[in-house]
Structure 1
């Protein structure tokens, strides 16, 4: 993996993962495609001055992405977070629908990695200054919901019928990947930022130990 200095470097790495996934018919590529769209929108937002601090937002994006990329490239080493280890294992052990692949990746990346990245880029004295931009990331994710769902439905038509039947076609991904994940990640970021750095390892371990409950905390 190349050294990440800019968002362009992140996009190039995601392009490589997508290319490899297409060649190998690897379902891990579903999350990489979604993540690339989000990253590109963040890049666009920075260029249009949509964030309070564009420089800080690029740093956050790079730190955030590096955690996913490190996990992806080291997934066979056994030296990755429990959340990503579970996500990668599920992709190998059975063939979930596309929506499940995305939610598995979101669980690992947003609920754990986003909080860590936010705490790293903005220590406790600056966390309140970050909140506005942090929430803007959620707005970017929300703006992609309809596009992602429509694309998934075209690939797997039963998904559209299922979502329409449950009455949650427009809101399913919003509820999971945006509101619940965002709020949990923000609380975790504040907890971590308020913790002395020597205690971060333990704090992160506690977060991971929640396992499946991480969605709602």
Structure 2
């Protein structure tokens, strides 16, 4: 079922929740990233309501544009296996033997390295992009924080995930040679570039970003060295109950907030 275009951040949350529900029902691994992304969006919405951004209405538009990029890629893949290269690679591996954390990172790679910069440029075109810097960094910090909590949650359904630490493939925010921190900063520079370009120039830049993100996706999916045998061992011990895994990942931030509330005096 097509997700369509959201008009605001509430509709982005609802659209992502719908994808998660369908994935749980169908045992579809697309629900892994959708569960992560739903929680990011809920956290951003909370930050907007709490007044943490310089311009909450602008961030609602930003997050809506950002979410619609994912919905467009998801719908294109479901419709006829089309869409951006990096998203096609990510979705095309859903039935492969890649492990849970790879699915998450493939989605994060495509959404940060292709979609994030364009959403920012469309939110604040031209010279206005500079005023977005602080809020852009805050939304990216929220993204990184949720990514780390969800990765921690993966450990409960992927008992040998720590092997990635042993072979140096998961340290801090770096997983399978993909750095969330570095990619967030590169996305900002690309946003500034896109904000000042005309439509023809912008199309060429997006093509370049898509090609680069696809190359990274292939490296994430098929890493070399000691990482590959480690991933094979991990895959052999991971839960095959896809609906249960999705549900577990989708509750990562709720469990985090619940724990924090219980520890508060």
CA distance in 2, matches of 1:98, 1:167: 14
TM-score scaled by length of structure 1: 0.89
How many equivalent pairs are there? 213
1:83 aligns with 2:83: no
Tell me which residue corresponds to 1:11.
Answer: 13
What SS does structure 2 have at the residue aligned with 1:74?
Answer: helix
Pairing 1:37–2:39 present: yes
- Which structure dedicates a bigger proportion of its chain to helix? 1
Task: Structure 1: state its 5+ residue gaps.
Answer: none
Which shifted more, 14-23 or 83-92?
A: 83-92
Which residues of structure 2 form unaligned runs of 5+?
219-265
Match of 1:199 in 2: 201
Q: Considering only aligned residues, what root-mean-square deviation do their CA atoms show, in Å?
A: 2.2
TM-superposition CA deviations, 1:56-96 (whole Å, max 9, x none): 1000000000010111122042441111111111223x121
Does the Cα contact within 8 Å between 1:21 and 1:27 map onto a contact in 2? yes
- SS of residue matched to 1:158: coil
Rounded to whole Å, the distance in 1 between the matches of 2:98 and 2:158 is: 12
Determine which structure has more spread, i.e. the larger CA radius of gyration. Answer: 2
Structure number with greater CO (CA < 8 Å, separation at least 6) is: 2
Show the counterpart of 1:141: 143
Supply the distance in 1 between the matched residues of 2:59 and 2:120 (Cα, whole angstroms): 10
User: After the TM superposition, which parts of structure 1 deviate over 3 Å for at least 4 consecutive aligned residues?
Assistant: 164-173
After TM superposition, the structure 1 = structure 2 runs for residues 29-178 of structure 1, keeping only pairs within 5 Å, are: 29-75=31-77, 76-92=79-95, 94-163=96-165, 166=168, 168=170, 170-172=172-174, 176=178, 178=180
